[in-house]
Amino acid sequence: MTIDPLPGRSGLVICGEIDIANHHLLRQALAVLAAEDADESEPVQLDLSGLRFIDVAGLAELAGFATQRRLVLHAPPPQVRRLADLFWLDRKWAIQP
């Protein structure tokens, strides 16, 4: 998995696969983003078009972040919407194709 800043906007580009082996890296990256980017008026953008897989605990990290900040998930892997509906209907995140 690789995590890079999103050029020009507040957010991240996350590629590869997220599972039990790298949740901690995702959590760190989100924590750094939250600390460095204090402008809460704009939602945080996550470009997930290069993300091949994210497991439930990985999505839980994003859901946790979405309790503090508005979040937009761009092009998440298949089944993310279904998982979001199953566990996190109340989150303030948007999922865009």
Partner 1 sequence: MTATRIQPDRGLRHDALFYDDETGYADGLVPFLQEGVDRGDPLLVAAPAQRVELLRDRLNGSAGAVRFVDMMSLGANPNRIIPAVRGFVDRHSGRQVRFVGEPIWAGRSAAETASATRHEALINLAFADTTAHIVCPYDTAGLDPEVLADAEHTHPTLIVDREHRPSTRYVEPAEFTADDRWPLEPPPATARQWRFTELTEPREVVRRHAVDAGLDLERAAALLLAVNEVCTNSLRHGPGYGTLRVWHTDAYLICETYDTGTITDPLAGRLLAPADASGGRGLYVANHMCDLAEVRSTAGGTTVRLQVARTL
Binding residues vs partner 1 (CB under 8 A): 17, 19-21, 53, 55-57, 60, 63-64, 77-79, 82-83, 86-88
Q: Which is nearer to partner 1, 32 or 86 (CB)?
A: 86
User: Would you say 9 or 70 has its CB closer to partner 1?
Assistant: 70
Taking the complex as a whole, how short is the minimal distance between the CB of residue 55 and partner 1, in angstroms?
5
CB 53 within 8 A of CB 27: no
* Crossing angle of helices 56-65 and 23-36, rounded to 10°: 10
In the complex, least distance from residue 7 CB atom to partner 1, rounded to whole angstroms? 29
The residue among 31 and 57 lying less far from partner 1, judged by its C-beta, is 57
Of 79, 23, 24, 13, nearest in space to 48 by CA: 13
Which one, of 59, 84, 13, 45, lies nearest residue 2 by Cα?
13
